[in-house]
Amino acid sequence: MSEAAMRWKRWFLGFALAALAIVTPARGDDPPKKPDTGKLPPPVQMIAQQDHKRMMELLNIKELRRGANGRDPKAPNAANYDESKANPYPNLPDPLVLKNGKKVTTAQRWWKQRRPEIVEDFDREIYGRVPKDTPKVKWEVTTTEKQTVGDVPVVTKRLVGHVDNSSYPLITVDIRLTLTTPAAATRPVPVILEFGFGGFGGRGPGSGRGGPSWQQQVLAKGWGYAILVPNSIQADSGAGLTKGIIGLCNKGQPRKVDDWGALRAWAWGASRALDYFETVKAVDAKRVGIEGLSRYGKAAIVALAYEERFAIGFIGSSGEGGVKLHRRNFGELVENVASAGEYHWMAGNFLKYAGPLKWDDLPVDSHELVALCAPRPVFISVGSQQVEGGWVDAKGMFLAGVGAGPVYRLLGKKDLGTTQFPPQETALIDGAVAFRQHSGGHTTGPNWPAFLKFADRYFKGSSAAGPDKR
């Protein structure tokens, strides 16, 4: 199947899954916990276009600029793939200058002043705020199975994370997760947690050439892996925003302009999985990595940036809304992510930057998202422009890695080591910010060996030291 056909298939599948999540009644089979449930107003039902319009009204926006057309190169708004037109705003916000204009020259000032400023900007304008008191999650192991993956005996636990819905019993959120660890392990092992695309199966062969799957490659290191189902936390649609964890916290009401979007909700779910790992002997919870592709690559960088307990990240083709610089005119644009099909990933406030404001008005850009991960290691992954296409903007993601460099250096780490975009299949993995463009399509597959080599440097040896943090 061609890349384009695969992309469509994925789109369709994602859409069908989201639609299914919406039409599935709020667990009619679960008896309500409180007798007075009938008095609660039911979750507001809206299609994405309605909620999108409502958000525009809240923001006083009459019109949004049109996104780029990635399908028709002849369209007047065809996506730009010409590097000479890609940088209308070459000056990025300086991650090491405080709002009051003072330079940040010490790690202490980074942690105490600058980092919180950047977090606040991302919270308010880009990804939204996670509510102060999110409900507790009770993890239940539903099955424990002995299996063999490749030739490695493993133990796989299937889990359901029941989210406390006593504040609003009309919405049930049951997070689905699997955890697989080597059966022969004699001590806690590092684990790579994946945001799973379409269930637990993972996607495609690990190497893209029929080699060992990513799971087999992880097990070959003696590590374990886990797969989290994002749709069980929050549906991938605007219509779903009054349900899932976001809807539960809002008691079925629509979002405010700075409420969290799906990316932060998925990342929140990953943190809850990490809470569970901290209670499990088989897992070295100080060495848990987060991995995802595409929209889940976006979720993975958001999770790594905000959750300091994640030790490392493998960020696959995250594109616009992920690692790609918002200020770049290449492939997908702010305007696409602000549209009714994708705005649910972000805070409502993000719409402003697709009209009347411009990308350059954003108080932060994605290099500062990468900087929030510092000094922890992050691997930025992308496919070939010929095979994957330019929609994800490989160079825009590379430049965000470059732009995070000063923060990594301030914290005593090596950065990417170059500002020159490297030839395909060149692994830049000597610093704490890593980058590799593989020769395949829209997948992390061919980059697993390079990522695992990179991660090995951090996960080797005893667990006593913990993750590479402050």
User: Under the rule (CB under 6 A), what is the footprint of ligand GCU?
Assistant: 10, 294-295, 319-321, 332, 336, 391
Q: Min. distance of Cβ 341 from ligand GCU in angstroms?
A: 8
Q: Min. distance of Cβ 196 from ligand GCU in angstroms?
A: 13
3-state secondary structure of 298: helix
CA distance between the termini of the chain:
46
* Residue number, 295 or 328, with CB nearest to ligand GCU: 295
Dihedral, CA of residue 417, residue 423, residue 425 and residue 426, to nearest 10: -20
Q: Min. distance of Cβ 238 from ligand GCU in angstroms?
A: 14
Is the torsion defined by CA of 166, 239, 236, 301 positive or negative? negative
Omega before residue 356 within 30° of 0, cis? yes
Q: Min. distance of Cβ 38 from ligand GCU in angstroms?
A: 39
Stated length of the chain: 470
- Phi and psi dihedrals of 177, rounded to 5? -150, 145
* Residue number, 336 or 366, with CB nearest to ligand GCU: 336
* Residue number, 396 or 467, with CB nearest to ligand GCU: 396
For residue 119, give the nearest of 309, 264, 265 by alpha carbon. 264
* Residue number, 277 or 398, with CB nearest to ligand GCU: 398
Q: Min. distance of Cβ 392 from ligand GCU in angstroms?
A: 7
Q: Min. distance of Cβ 359 from ligand GCU in angstroms?
A: 16
Dihedral, CA of residue 443, residue 444, residue 448 and residue 450, to nearest 10: 110
For residue 333, give the nearest of 69, 114, 138 by alpha carbon. 69
* Residue number, 235 or 452, with CB nearest to ligand GCU: 235
* Residue number, 3 or 258, with CB nearest to ligand GCU: 3
* Residue number, 254 or 297, with CB nearest to ligand GCU: 297
For residue 4, give the nearest of 338, 388, 322 by alpha carbon. 388
For residue 315, give the nearest of 299, 288, 297, 303 by alpha carbon. 297
Per DSSP, the residues of 360-413 read: GG-S--HHHHHHHTTTS-EEEEE--TTTT-STT-HHHHHHHHHHTHHHHHHTT-
| Contact status, residue 200 vs residue 208, Cβ threshold 8 Å | no
Q: Min. distance of Cβ 385 from ligand GCU in angstroms?
A: 15
Q: Min. distance of Cβ 143 from ligand GCU in angstroms?
A: 29
Helix (H) or strand (E) holding 4: helix 3-23
